[in-house]
Amino acid sequence: MQLSSVVDRLDEELRTADYADVDASANGLQVGPDEAEIERAAFAVDGVRETVDRAIEADADLLVVHHGLSWGGFDRVTGRTYDRIAPLIENDLALYVSHLPLDGHPELGNAAGVADLLALENRSPFGDHGPEHVGQRGTAADPYAPADLRDRLETNLETGGQPVQHLDFGPDAIEDVAIVTGSGTDWLDEAVAAGADALVTGEGKGKVYHEAREAGIHVFLAGHYATETFGVRSLQEFVEEWGLETTYLEAPTGL
């Protein structure tokens, strides 16, 4: 399958162009020729030396990641940037990136994956980011006890052995859940305004403790990496339907 066809299909499904003005990431094809034959694709959360090397070992022609290499462009291709880009070019390994488009996709996205894990119903977009959304909100058919929701996340996410942190300031029964994966505590006020009982995200900032306490809302910090494995795994299944061989590269950080 031609690389350009893979890129066009992914860009269309993920609405890559719609996020061009709201995402610092250069989404889409970041490294690669205009045309190349793709037989094997590897998928990973982070486009880093470890996953690049492992994709090369797997004889992949394409590496698809959530966190890529270009965040507002390069001033110089030296040091760490060179060390990551050089193996891609030397081994004819293309790199495709989807950051915020993959966070907010209603079916394939990271927040959608967390919502699936929690079996949330009545879902709607959440997490305003300019004209787009980067998360989801939904309701639990059977309200969660706070400890049960934490345990469900901790048991099912790739946390690298780290516990899920829980700021236990909300109601005894959690029904309405807002989700922004990765670093999502900036959307706490939106969650409170929406009437959510809990915000599920990856990592937090120091100020969120008192903000959550004063607002009376639960916050679950399940790890940046752990909450963002869903999107690339969904893309792997999506691409497999096109007849490509695929592999998923686990590289949990515990963060």
99 is in an annotated binding site: no
How is residue 201 written in tokens?
């995200």
Q: What is the mean pLDDT of residues 127-150?
A: 97
Residue 20 belongs to some domain of the structure = yes
Mean pLDDT of the chain: 97
Domain count, the chain: 2
Same domain, 223 and 234: no
Going by pLDDT thresholds of 50, 70 and 90, the confidence category of residue 120 is: very high
Residue 73 belongs to some domain of the structure = yes
pLDDT at 213: 98
Same domain, 128 and 212: yes
Same domain, 87 and 184: no
pLDDT at 140: 97
Rounded to an integer, what is the distance from CA 149 to the centroid of its chain? 20
Query: Are the beta carbons of 37 and 61 closer than 8 angstroms?
Result: yes
Q: Provide the domain limits for residue 176.
A: 103-227
Strands 62-67 and 40-46: parallel
Same domain, 46 and 74: yes
Q: What is the mean pLDDT of residues 141-148?
A: 97
pLDDT at 170: 98
Tell me the sheet residues that pair with 198: 177, 218
pLDDT at 224: 98
224 is in an annotated binding site: yes
Same domain, 167 and 221: yes
As a whole-number percent, the residues of the chain with pLDDT over 70 amount to 100
Rounded to an integer, what is the distance from CA 50 to the centroid of its chain? 18
pLDDT at 80: 93
Same domain, 217 and 238: no
pTM of the shown model:
0.96
As a whole-number percent, the residues of the chain with pLDDT over 90 amount to 97
Write out pLDDT tens, residues 174-201. Answer: 999 999 999 999 999 999 999 999 999 9
Strand (E) or helix (H) holding 237 = helix 230-240
| Whole-angstrom distance, CA of residue 145 vs CA of residue 160 | 24
Same domain, 181 and 79: no
User: How many C-beta atoms surround the C-beta of residue 249 within 10 A?
Assistant: 21
Residue 207 belongs to some domain of the structure = yes
Same domain, 151 and 236: no
Residue 253 belongs to some domain of the structure = no
| Whole-angstrom distance, CA of residue 45 vs CA of residue 228 | 7
172 is in an annotated binding site: no
3-state class (DSSP) for residue 218: strand
Residue 29 belongs to some domain of the structure = yes
Same domain, 140 and 222: yes
Same domain, 33 and 73: yes
Same domain, 26 and 49: yes
Same domain, 222 and 234: no
Residue 75, pLDDT > 90, answer: no
Residue 53, pLDDT > 90, answer: yes
pLDDT at 74: 86
Residue 34, pLDDT > 90, answer: no
Residue 158 belongs to some domain of the structure = yes
103 is in an annotated binding site: yes
Going by pLDDT thresholds of 50, 70 and 90, the confidence category of residue 131 is: very high
| Whole-angstrom distance, CA of residue 132 vs CA of residue 185 | 17
pLDDT at 121: 98
Residue 39, pLDDT > 90, answer: yes
Residue 73, pLDDT > 90, answer: no
Which residue type does 24 have? A
Q: What is the mean pLDDT of residues 157-166?
A: 94
pLDDT at 133: 96
Residue 255 belongs to some domain of the structure = no
State the virtual CA torsion across 230, 235, 238, 244 in degrees, nearest 10: -130
Residue in this structure with the two tokens 């061989």, named with its chain if needed: 245
CATH number, residue 140: 3.40.1390.30
